[in-house]
Amino acid sequence: MGPGNLAEKLDERYTYGQYYQWDDDERWELIDGVPYNMTAAPLRRHQGILIRVSSRVEEFLRGKPCQAYFAPFDVRLPDFSEQDDNDVPTVVQPDLVVICDDKKLDDRGCRGAPDLVVEILSPSTSRKDIGVKFSLYERHGVREYWVIHPAEESLLVFTIGADGKYGRPQGYGRGDKASSSVLEGLELDLEEVFAE
């Protein structure tokens, strides 16, 4: 069972140890100890975009050391102090992640920042993905963060700079070919991504 009635628990914080025991029929993310329910199924268009992006990334990664995973896939983001996974206050399930350091992978998913995170916005998650997760991924050193907006048929690519901050995003629209600086040589044809 999940954390129960969140309206009554706004002042409570949770850890990965508690998260891991919650009901498998519900999907949750935990950001700095605060639970976010993700149980509602994504829209059909969201899933179509995810399949097309995942297929292109997977094709690109063949024969390369990096690995791609799509949700549900737990990414634990420890702060510097937690040695025990059970104490980690943040676990997220991005739509797609690419991890190039296999030491970060274990049977439960990934511990530490992926190299690339892709989030596809939906009405119920857009505020969290653009605000809370942007800051979270920047703080933990996710090298590249892609935000796909299905309704606007756009993609924003944020890349971490030498100062550890995301700079001005590279914006792409339908008809453009988006490229990655982290996965050098990867191109994404947004005409194909947004095709129905």
Q: pLDDT tens digit string along 65-86?
A: 999 999 889 999 998 776 777 7
Report the CATH number at residue 162: 3.90.1570.10
What total number of domains does the chain contain? 1
Instruction: Judge whether 166 and 181 are in contact, CB under 8 Å.
Output: no
Q: Which two tokens stand for residue 163?
A: 């100062």
Instruction: Judge whether 156 and 170 are in contact, CB under 8 Å.
Output: yes
Instruction: Judge whether 32 and 89 are in contact, CB under 8 Å.
Output: yes
For residue 17, how many other CB atoms are within 10 A of its CB? 12
| Domain boundaries, position 116 | 41-193
Is residue 45 a part of any domain in this protein?
Answer: yes
**pTM for this predicted structure:** 0.87
What's the pLDDT at 130?
76
The CA distance from 186 to 193, in Å, is 14
What ranges in the chain are assigned the alpha helix state H?
16-19, 44-61, 126-127, 133-140, 190-193
Q: What is the band of 10 on the pLDDT scale with cuts at 50, 70, 90?
A: very low
- Indicate the DSSP class of residue 129: I
Q: What is the band of 8 on the pLDDT scale with cuts at 50, 70, 90?
A: very low
Is residue 107 a part of any domain in this protein?
Answer: yes
Is residue 187 a part of any domain in this protein?
Answer: yes
Is residue 10 a part of any domain in this protein?
Answer: no
Is residue 30 a part of any domain in this protein?
Answer: no
Residues in the chain: 196
